Structures are given as C-alpha cells and as structure tokens.
Amino acid sequence: MHSQKYYRTMWVIKGFGKYIALILVLLWSGLPILLMLLSSIKFPREIFNYPPSLIFKPYFGNYVELARTWPEFFKTLWNSTIVTVGSTFFCVLLSFLAGYGLSRYRNKTMAVSSFMIIFTRLLPPIIISIPLYPIINRLHMFDNSLTLIIFYTTFFVSLGTILMKTFIDQIPREIEESAAIDGAPLWKILWYLILPLSTHGLVATSTFIILFAWNEYTFAFLFTTTTAKTAPVIISEMMGSVTGVLWGPLFAAASIQLIPILIFVFAIQKFLVEGAIAGSVKG
C-alpha cells in the first residue's frame, strides 16, 4: 500500500516537473520573440522602457517608416522566397534519392560516401566560402540567386540525406520486392511506394532546409551585393546604418521576416511530431 502511494507520488512529481520544464523552455525561447513582436508596434521612445510594458497603445508607424526608409527590404523578402523555395526543392529531391541509395545499397563504397557526407556537414560555411569566392567571380555568378540556391543545396543535402535515410530505413523492403516481382520499374517504386511512405521524412527535411535558407547570412553576405540580396543581409545593414539604428523599423523588419516562418511551423507541427515519432522507432 505504501509502495503504491510512493510510486503514485513520484509519478505526480515527475509529471509536474515536466510541465515546469516545458514552461521554462517556452519562456526561454518564446519570450524574446514576443518582446520583438511587441516592440515593432510600440512608439520608438517606449521600446527600451524598463521594465517592458505588455499593455500599451499600438503604434504601426514603424512599418510605415520601414517602407519609407528601407523600401529595398521588401525586394529582399522576395529574393529570400525564391532562394528558399529553389534550394528546398533541389535539396529534398537529391536527399530523397541519396537517402534511398544509402538505405538500400549497403557496401564499402556507400559506407565511405556516408562518412564523407557527415564530414562535409561538419565544415563551417566560412571555410567553404573563402576559396569559392574567386571561382564564383570568374564564372560571373556573383550576386545571383541561382548561386545561393546551389550553395544552400550543396551545404544542406548532407543532413537531408541522413534524415531521409533514417525514414526510408523504416519502410519494409518486402513492399519493393513485391512490386519488382510484379514488373514495376525502379522509378515507379520510388514514385508510387517510397515517396508516399516517406512523407514525414520529406516534411522534416524540408523544414530544416527552409529554416536554414530563410535565415542564412554568411553565403548571402559574401556572394550578393544588390540584385540577389536577401532579408537577413538587409537587416544587418539596418543595424549598421551610418545614420544610426532606427529600432522601430528594425523590429518591424525582423517581425515581418519572422512571421512567415512562424506560420509555416505552426501549419506543419502535426507532421513534425508524427515524423519525430516515426523516425525514432525502428521498423
């Protein structure tokens, strides 16, 4: 009797502790975002009031001022969208095919390839960028959205491949063998069987790539100047303006750049949770 009461008490304490930990994590990660969003609709003189006020009269003049002083910011949002969509498409496609190859064809060559994929992912972007700078300049690919798409795809296809391999490993080989016996070619097996069954992996991989490409700064800063400049680059320029930092428009720009990602993550959170569960269970 005492033992059951003890275990019940411990179960309640552990459950309560998990909720406390979850609340602390949400505060740690969500509070800065909330303060940024609120600061974007405050009068500039109220932004740095301490303690920060959560109840105030909204002021949307910061967004008007952003459009007036930094009109190119909205063009960079379009550039970020093009680069993000392009790199996500190519990276997911290549990751799916490479992940299938590593999952289904296991030999010494594939093992070496898998190691090299992980090794290249460990390299910092700046180490890759500096030697490529004169090459990109010689090929006249400087300040081009296609260049960023190639860089982002190349840099992130390694992690995408590992993720897709993990999910494809869960798909029973017997399904493919039955389809092959019935005469289905490989491309039909991939398109009609493997692709639908690895949807969660595709969503998880796409999410990582979108978050990376949308917020990436190093490649965009080094290889763009005007035409292909992305939103993170223009935001950094706003912070280093010679006329001084206009904090109201800066917070407005950061909020506009963040909102699409928040909407995207909330829209696919169900797939992310299911994908995490599916990817953690061995078939």
The reported pLDDT for the residue numbered 149 is: 93
CB atoms within 10 A of CB 122: 7
pLDDT digits (tens, 9 = 90+) for 50-89: 777 777 788 888 899 999 989 899 999 999 999 999 999 9
> Is the distance from CB of 128 to CB of 155 less than 8 angstroms?
yes
pLDDT digits (tens, 9 = 90+) for 194-222: 888 888 888 888 988 998 899 998 889 88
Percent of the chain scored above 70 by pLDDT?
86
What span, in angstroms and rounded, lies between the C-alpha atoms of 127 and 125? 5
CATH, domain range 61-279? 1.10.3720.10
pLDDT digits (tens, 9 = 90+) for 138-167: 888 888 999 999 989 988 888 888 888 888
> Is the distance from CB of 203 to CB of 271 less than 8 angstroms?
yes
Largest CA-CA distance found in the chain, in angstroms, rounded? 80
The three-class DSSP label of residue 180 is helix
Considering the entire predicted model, what is its pTM?
0.81
The reported pLDDT for the residue numbered 10 is: 62
Label residue 15 by pLDDT band (50, 70, 90): low
> Is the distance from CB of 73 to CB of 234 less than 8 angstroms?
yes
Label residue 273 by pLDDT band (50, 70, 90): low
**Residue 272 clears pLDDT 90, i.e. is over it:** no
Phi, then psi, of 210 in degrees rounded to 5: -60, -45
> Which tops the pLDDT comparison, 239 or 96?
96
What span, in angstroms and rounded, lies between the C-alpha atoms of 108 and 114? 10
Report CA-CA distances (Å) from 222 to 124, 134, 214, 218, 233: 14, 11, 16, 6, 10
Domain chopping of the chain, boundaries = 2-31, 61-279
